[in-house]
Chains A and B, each alone.
Chain A
């Protein structure tokens, strides 16, 4: 893989800033998702202390998919998005469509999880809402970024 230097717009200052911001947002999401994964795998409960909603969400059947904590998929999603944003910020502009696709999948997953919290469990988890806010921000950045000009 080689950076696509002259023919793209991705080395413009605005794009570098935009994807650097996206990478930083992904890092925050990565930290959140990693922490939740560790909690889910160890059965540690202190982080939910004092919040009934947190326990009801993270302890529900929706918190795992075939036995794997949902947060694990968050780790994979945020790490992929982080890696793509970093590469794009460094000039690998062809990866933009993969970044858009990744954020799109994360956005859809976030909508599903928000639906579950609001209408199935009637409870909210602060870590999940934080992650949802980050994904919304990422989606906003994708929408705000200029469309890639392919040769």
Chain B
């Protein structure tokens, strides 16, 4: 057997090994970087007051959303919010508040699932996943099994997640958001507040919110940061 032929399988296996393990490692790093959200430096008090925050803590634009994971317009808005976050970058911070409506059979379970994920620092990952998969789990008779699957797929500690979903901390967080909703007169979802001012429902979309943020005369326009 010629020399080249003898070493051919070694070359092929080494090349494939390099592609799989090297490429896999590169892909892993790239995915991890893409999934990693900006670090949030928040004190315990800020956490309690601000709830779930995504974006820069000192951003001049704040959108506070009261949402229900099972409400279809909230699902549509979730995509718009992500586009806004991309568009405004460090200038925008988004605060999510739970407002599960009684008319939606899995809304409270979904809220508790997101809070349980939040207790493992994966609130936003679960938030995005719940909205993205809303059409699937909303129709199921038992959504909790699937929520457990989501938690597992996100790499959470499954046993802790299940326990936290039933635990007092997740329930207390949902109740606190509902209390805040009541104090602000919120009675439907999605309800948004742009820099503290309630946004009219027709403007609750990407274009409408951009207009409100960018319009200099708008009463809710962000003030320049100091």
Interface residues of A (CB under 8 A from B): 2-3, 5, 27, 30, 34, 37-45, 48-52, 55-61, 63, 75, 79, 82-83, 86-87, 89-92
- In the bound complex, residues from chain B placing their C-beta under 8 Å from that of A63 are 152
Q: Does B193 contact A (CB under 8 A)?
A: no
Interfacial residues, chain B to chain A (CB-CB below 8 A): 1, 5-6, 8-9, 12-13, 16-17, 20, 23-24, 27-28, 31-32, 35, 122, 125, 129, 132-133, 136-137, 140, 145-146, 148-155, 158
Extra contacts besides A50-B133, A83-B13 (7): CB < 8 Å: A3-B5, A43-B35, A59-B149, A59-B158, A60-B152, A61-B152, A75-B20
B145 near A42 (CB under 8 angstroms)? no
Which residues of chain A are within 8 angstroms of B35 by Cβ–Cβ distance?
42-44
Minimum Cβ distance to chain B for residue A110 (Å)? 20
Establish whether residues A90 and B125, one from each chain, have CB atoms under 8 Å apart when the complex forms: no
**B131, chain A: closest CB distance, angstroms:** 12
Q: How far is the CA of A75 from the CA of B152 in the complex (A)?
A: 20
A59 to B133, CA, bound (A): 15
B122 nearest in chain A by CB position:
A43
A48 contact set on B, CB distance < 8 A: 153
Does the CB pair B125–A58 fall under 8 Å? no
